[in-house]
């Protein structure tokens, strides 16, 4: 009986030590770019400088097709036999040297720190932002895509955070398999394959808000400060989107306010949608009456005063 108690106490102490050890364990965290070809490497360097400005303690790794050393990157992983298309992300992102990884497309502009994405990976396996257009899914010819319910979104693969574990490794393998099916049809839509692989996985998926992947070349809406802007950082021909608007102008325009706001592109500029106060007033009078309209004006002015004071 006494020996059983001793054994029980030993196991309890071992369990406590294990829990404490896991709690104190520090996971490696870092940001990864995949850029093949000089033009994309140049853009990735511009993007990495914004990371260095806002998250200087986070290491940055570049996966590319050349043996190079660049001051913007803490490490470089050479890609053998690159595809020079969206498949490079599919086949090589799993080679990340970190436990917790945030992948950035080369055309990402970081306006504020995003340490909270790493914290999110304590509870989730993968995180990404819903694509506003389902662009790839609507263009790919694949039965697996057609069987996915409309309520399961296509995620944009330009910002993807994930933790390294067996479930994520299995997901990457499935992403490769589905992408090979897509590619066999002469298409390169990796997001459609990404959607299928996510739908078929058992991953805990976190959906990031658009403030963490704002594709500012398209009309959209945001609420709060936009942290990650997604759009060409300089003008060059590529397999991806062209440069439609200046990113620094977009940052200044969208982050001048923090409330819920819509935006659109006009020429090379991003502009906020400004409400037409006269139309709003006439609508309120017609549908709410004079008393309620006066109350709405009072509450609006009171809110504006509290924001400015």
Is the per-residue pLDDT at 21 higher than 60? no
- With a CB cutoff of 8 Å and minimum separation 6, the contacts of 245 are 216, 217, 231, 265, 268, 269, 270
Which pair of tokens denotes residue 86? 């969206």
Is the per-residue pLDDT at 13 higher than 70? no
% the chain with pLDDT above 90: 67
Q: Does domain 28-212 have CATH number 3.90.550.10?
A: yes
Q: Residue 22: which pLDDT band, with cuts at 50, 70 and 90?
A: very low
Q: Do the bridges between strand 108-110 and strand 126-130 make them parallel or antiparallel, or are there none, so unpaired?
A: unpaired
How do residues 201-211 score in pLDDT, each as one tens digit?
999 999 999 99
Helix, strand or coil for residue 217? coil
Q: What is the pLDDT of residue 29?
A: 98
**Residue-wise DSSP of 24-86:** HPPPPEEEEEE--SHHHHHHHHHHHHHHHHH-TTS-EEEEESS----TT-SEEEEPSS--SST
How do residues 57-80 score in pLDDT, each as one tens digit?
999 999 999 999 999 999 999 999
Is the per-residue pLDDT at 124 higher than 90? yes
Q: What is the pLDDT of residue 1?
A: 54
Q: In angstroms, how far is CA 198 from the centroid of its own chain?
A: 15
Is the per-residue pLDDT at 118 higher than 70? yes
Mean pLDDT of 164-180: 97
Instruction: Count CA within 13 A, CB hemisphere, residue 189.
Output: 21
Mark residue 289 as left, alpha or beta (left: phi above 0; alpha: psi -120 to 50; beta: remaining).
left
Range of 20-34, 240-254, 283-297 with top mean pLDDT: 240-254
Q: Do the bridges between strand 60-64 and strand 75-78 make them parallel or antiparallel, or are there none, so unpaired?
A: parallel
Question: Does the model's pTM come out above 0.75?
Answer: yes
- With a CB cutoff of 8 Å and minimum separation 6, the contacts of 87 are 179, 183, 188, 190
């Amino acid at each position: 009986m006494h020996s059983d108690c001793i054994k029980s106490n030993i196991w309890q102490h071992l369990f406590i030590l294990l829990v404490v050890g896991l709690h104190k364990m520090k996971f490696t965290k870092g940001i990864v770019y995949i850029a093949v070809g000089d033009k994309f490497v140049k853009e990735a360097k511009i993007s990495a400088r914004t990371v260095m400005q806002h998250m200087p303690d986070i290491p940055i790794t570049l996966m590319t097709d050349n043996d190079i050393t660049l001051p913007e990157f803490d490490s470089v992983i050479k890609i053998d036999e690159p595809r020079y298309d969206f498949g490079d992300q599919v086949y090589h992102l799993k080679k990340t040297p970190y436990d917790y990884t945030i992948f950035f497309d080369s055309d990402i502009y970081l306006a504020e720190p995003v340490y909270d994405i790493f914290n999110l990976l304590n509870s989730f396996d993968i995180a990404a932002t819903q694509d506003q257009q389902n662009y790839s899914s609507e263009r790919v010819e694949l039965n697996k895509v057609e069987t996915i319910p409309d309520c399961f979104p296509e995620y944009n693969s330009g910002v993807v955070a994930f933790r390294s574990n067996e479930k994520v490794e299995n997901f990457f393998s499935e992403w490769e398999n589905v992408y090979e099916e897509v590619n066999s049809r002469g298409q390169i839509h990796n997001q459609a394959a990404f959607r299928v692989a996510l739908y078929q996985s058992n991953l805990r998926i976190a959906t990031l808000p658009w403030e963490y992947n704002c594709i500012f070349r398209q009309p959209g809406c945001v609420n709060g400060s936009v942290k990650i802007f997604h759009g060409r950082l300089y003008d060059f021909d590529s397999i991806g989107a062209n440069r439609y608007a200046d990113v620094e102008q977009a940052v200044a325009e969208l982050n001048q306010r923090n409330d819920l706001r819509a935006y659109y592109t006009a020429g090379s500029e991003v502009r906020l949608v400004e409400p037409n106060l006269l139309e709003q007033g006439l609508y309120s009078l017609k549908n709410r009456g004079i008393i309620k309209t006066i109350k709405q004006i009072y509450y609006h002015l009171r809110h504006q005063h509290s924001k400015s004071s």
